[in-house]
Structure 1
Amino acid sequence: MRCWPPPGQRRPRTSTSRSSSRHRCCATRPLAGIFTGDYRIQTVFRDQWNSFTNAYRTGSLSGEYKWPVGRSSDYFTTAFEVLYDKAGTAALTTTELLPALNYHKSLSNEKAMYLSVGFMGGLVTKSIDITKVTTNSQYNGTAYDPALPNGETNFSPNVHYLDGSLGISFNTTFGPDNHNTFFTGFAYHHLNRPKNSFYKNPSVELDPKYVFSAGIKAIINEQAYFTVQADHSRQGPSQETIAGVLYSYKLGDDPENSGYTLHLGGFVRWKDALIPVIKLEMNSLAVALSYDANISELKTASQGRGGFELSISYIGFLDRENAKYRILCPKF
């Protein structure tokens, strides 16, 4: 499926990058399919807080593929995400296998303007290494004795559950020759409130999580542009806000045909971290690196050292030139 911009417009390359929170190194898929291309494969690795505790390590692999709908500019996106997270001394491990499906409804025949709705759901497993946990029952009166029973009853070191999320987003182009781009979105996670207890307590479940996202890409000139993005999320009593800006510059003397774009900028996770970001696009391949500099009350223990995140993505086109597959792609 080829993506074709309106007459006189050059097809832009993907140009946005975003660092994310410790708890999830990559976003879920309410914005799946919002890129210029037929498919995208991405992997992310995050390593955090090595300076004062066992490292929190998160890795993910995701893929997206677009399917045209008849002769219209509408299309489906099928996607998947595999995530692995290991945290802390007790080796709390989370593995997620989450397929996703999005439908993108074109709202204009003249430019890229889409309303997208999506669902993501699948299997989540969690485990903990009980041999690395110490309890009061293992205190013999003078010292810790690992030979004593831990005293934990009705405990299971493994938890399995199904989890689901819904999302909706709107994106459009605007300005001279429709080169500027705007998007906004909302996602509702854990809609089925899955049970989440190692003690098989049915009253322990995941609170719903609400995520609001928005971003804008504005052209400065034919060689440079900037991108502003922000997320706000809430789950139970917790909330998080992250926002930032990237400046992007097309390398070489011919910006219309430049195969390389350099992105520099930074994000702020409110009351938690400053996050410098660098990203390099090389034709279809993009590599981004960010680092969390801790500014919260935890900075005394962490010495300001948070963690780094590495992202690698590849966007490709398929050789399907029939007009049936020419849709107006969202331009990010």
Structure 2
Amino acid sequence: MRFNTKIVFSFIIVLIMSKSVIAQDIHFSQFFNSPLTLNPSTTGDYDGNWRLINNYRRQWDFIKVPYETVGVGFDAPLSYRNNNLGAGLQFISDHSGDSRLSVTKVHASFAYHKKWNNQYIHAGLQAGIVSKSYNIDALTFPNQYNYETGFFDNQLNNGETGLGDKTSYFDLNFGLGWQADFNSLKPFAGLAFFHINKPQESFGFDNVLPVRSVVNVGVDYDFNGKIHFIPGILYMSHSGASDLLIGVRAKSLVPVDLIDYVYLGPYFRGDFINNRDAAVIVAGFEIKNFQVCISYDVNISSLKQATNYRGAFEFSIIYTQESTKVYKTSIPCERY
């Protein structure tokens, strides 16, 4: 009996690393640059006429078919009867591994924003359709192991019955947000719940998708008018799995005409004790209406030797159209 040890070893590595992915939704290390996937209440929460967001993530280049995620979002602030609202649309496309598992998500977002003195309260709702499919012929099953050759043979019957290769469902998400302006300190926090309708996600067997909870907190600290420090924490919990991301970005004004701001910072994914997953390096810049950011996840988990520290590469670009909102003005007039 002969075994292809390289294939078996790679399969074991991917299986172990997929444990957390199966239990969690699609996510970005640059969560701060993907507002509509972070919390529905962020919809339309910015100073501008409209905003276009693009995110790209490529993970695990050491395997034959890396995982790739593309996100495109659009949102705009609205006003109705003196109420500040927001509306947006989010599209996600994800392709995973040799099975060619494809996930497509299309969500519409709506949010309400209220200001009290120097504080802001946000509430948002997101509704959409999720479609998933995979190529069953690209997978191998125990029944397809050929004991004579020592290899898996896709031509053999896989022995599986009742399996479908497509599924889709309605998805509903809800989020709350809070911000405050204390001059040089601008704290913010968010709480979101995804899949609150607990949809049936299955390729042939009953499988209810549990609610995913997301908490994010941070602060924008204006150090001296030119440099800002923006520490932040993201915590997600889903189906018994959790993900903690903590770090800080330094944002600095640049005294050149071409670039307005540059920013750089480290983030860490894990719990600092038993689950050290990745160190994330973030760098970016702002030019007029554009914000561009790149990041890399360095694998520091127990699999770092097998992966050669390779994790994920991310790229994001956000375009914000400048606001043309007209504010009421008053002209002082002396009375005689």
What's the TM-score bracket when you normalise by the shorter of the two chains? 0.7 to 0.9
Partner of 2:287: 282
| Partner SS for 2:42 | coil
Matched, 1:57 2:63: no
How many residue pairs get matched?
293
| Partner SS for 1:192 | coil
Matched, 1:150 2:150: no
Matched, 1:87 2:87: no
Query: Higher mean Cα deviation, 185-194 or 313-322?
Result: 313-322
Partner of 1:42: 53
Superposition misfits of 4+ residues, deviation over 6 angstroms: none
Task: From the two aligned structures, give the one with the greater helix fraction.
Answer: 2
- Inter-partner Cα distance in structure 2 for 1:88 and 1:99: 28
Residues 157-236 of structure 1: matches in 2 within 5 Å?
157-174=165-182, 178-199=183-204, 201-202=205-206, 204-236=207-239
Change (3 A) 1:36 1:60: same
- List per-residue Cα deviations over 1:109-164 (Å, max 9, x = no partner): xx4x2111111110000011111011223235424333332222111100111111
Instruction: Check the 8 A contact 2:296/2:312 in 1, yes or no.
Output: yes
- Inter-partner Cα distance in structure 2 for 1:89 and 1:36: 43
Work out which of the residue numbers 297, 306, 313 in structure 1 matches 2:318. 313
Change (3 A) 1:237 1:189: same
In structure 2, list runs of 5 or more residues that go unmatched: 1-27, 271-275, 330-336
Superposed CA RMSD in Å reads 2.3
- List per-residue Cα deviations over 1:289-311 (Å, max 9, x = no partner): 00000111121211111011000
In structure 1, list runs of 5 or more residues that go unmatched: 1-16, 325-332
Instruction: Check the 8 A contact 1:25/1:44 in 2, yes or no.
Output: no
- Inter-partner Cα distance in structure 2 for 1:182 and 1:191: 27
Change (3 A) 1:95 1:141: same
Question: TM-score of the superposition, structure 2-length normalised?
Answer: 0.82
- Inter-partner Cα distance in structure 2 for 1:100 and 1:26: 10
Partner of 1:10: none
- List per-residue Cα deviations over 1:142-195 (Å, max 9, x = no partner): 243333322221111001111111100111100xxx243111110011111111
- Inter-partner Cα distance in structure 1 for 2:287 and 2:108: 28
Query: Higher mean Cα deviation, 236-245 or 140-149?
Result: 140-149
| Partner SS for 2:98 | coil
- Inter-partner Cα distance in structure 1 for 2:47 and 2:323: 12
- Inter-partner Cα distance in structure 2 for 1:168 and 1:133: 41
- Inter-partner Cα distance in structure 2 for 1:27 and 1:53: 30
Partner of 1:122: 128
Question: TM-score of the superposition, structure 1-length normalised?
Answer: 0.83
Instruction: Check the 8 A contact 1:166/1:187 in 2, yes or no.
Output: yes
